[in-house]
Amino acid sequence: MVLLACNNLSQMISVRNYILILLICTLMAIMVPSTKGGEPYIGWKCVDKTGNYTLNSPYQSNLIAALSNLTTLSSSNSFANFTAGDATDAGKNKVYALYDCRDDLPLQTCHDCVVNASATITQICPLNKEAVITYEECFLRYASHPIVATLELKYALSYCNLAVPDDRGAMNRTVTTIVEKLIDEATSGSASRYFAVGRGSYFVHQDVYCLVQCTPDLSRSDCKECLMDAYNSTIADCASKSMLVGLHSGPSCRIRYSWFRFFNLTSGVGLGPSPSPSFPVGSPRFSPLPINATPRSRKSNGSHGGSLTISNAKLIPLLFSLFLFCV
């Protein structure tokens, strides 16, 4: 897609600039797949307020059993929960764990992600009885209290990235429209799973792609509440600041939008036709204004966490602006 656009524009541009454009197009073509459009790929929270377990305790062995069972389950399920521990000592050492993978990905990807998540989270949050970790492909969580079918709005990774200066509210309009539609679609009575993807047109030749998903153990109304909360607390904010990327990934649901098509089109998820662009005709001039990624953190009581990002925040807006200008 990038290359096609590049071919078109190369015809319109004087030979003098041809080499420069070619260079930039090549750069973009290389960067787009390798950086996945600038999204963070891992976020975690170690929940301190629910306390620590001790080494070699029954809690630890239950945790190991739960994670190992989940890993096995992830070869054949995109969502699973597991409770380890019995009623001895009033069930005080019971461990409740679950994971949820993105519905558009193959099970092998889900499995790889759960393997990674369970190994990583126990290293990042050693001794925490409760912790959550989220990757692009999956989410994993454990606690000393029941967590299945429970709406949890805390402990989300939320993130805006790649600002386009002065898009005259185009991203805001595009994202608002598409997210509302997808939330309705994912939580409608006929939906077999709480999952929807779609796209909206941002401007000519540039769509915005969006995914919404809840864990399947939630009730329909909890799913809707979670998605509305994700939208209100992060996504609306990213879009109104003309960010090309917005992500809110929590224990119960996720919403993600991006200028980059990050989800899998060949796995049976369909996209409707691209609607007309919300970008005004007679485009404004884009001045390259690199803005650093803006990780958002909601104040969370008694937990610590973090995220790792691919750092390309400066390059993409620059290239993108040039790209817009050329088209």
Ligand X SMILES: *[C@@H]1O[C@H](CO)[C@@H](O)[C@H](O)[C@H]1NC(C)=O
Interface with ligand X includes 84 (CB under 6 A)? yes
Among 116, 150, 294, 309, binds ligand X (CB under 6 A): 116
Please tell me the distance from the alpha carbon of residue 178 to that of residue 182, in angstroms, as a whole number. Answer: 6
Using rule CB under 6 A, residue 68 touches ligand X: yes
CB of 309 to ligand X, least distance (A): 11
Nearer to ligand X, 152 or 217 (CB): 217
**Contact status: 146 vs ligand X (CB under 6 A):** no
Which CB sits closer to ligand X, 105 or 313? 105
Instruction: Report the nearest approach of ligand X to the CB of residue 212 (Å).
Output: 14
**Cβ of residue 42: shortest distance to ligand X, in angstroms?**
5
Q: Which of these ranges, 28-36, 183-191, 295-303, 312-320, lies near ligand X under the rule CB under 6 A?
A: 295-303
Q: Which part of the chain contacts ligand X (CB under 6 A), choosing from 29-37, 61-69, 183-191, 196-204?
A: 61-69
Interaction between residue 10 and ligand X (CB under 6 A): no
Stretch that binds ligand X, among 20-28, 221-229, 250-258, 287-295 (CB under 6 A): 221-229
Q: Which of 130, 217, 222, 237 binds ligand X (CB under 6 A)?
A: 217
The answer to whether 225 contacts ligand X (rule: CB under 6 A) is yes
**Closer to ligand X at the Cβ: 105 or 324?**
105
Footprint of ligand X (CB under 6 A)? 42, 48, 51-52, 65, 68-69, 72, 81, 84, 105-106, 109, 112-113, 116, 126-127, 148-149, 169, 172, 176, 217, 225, 228-229, 232, 240, 264, 266-267, 299-301
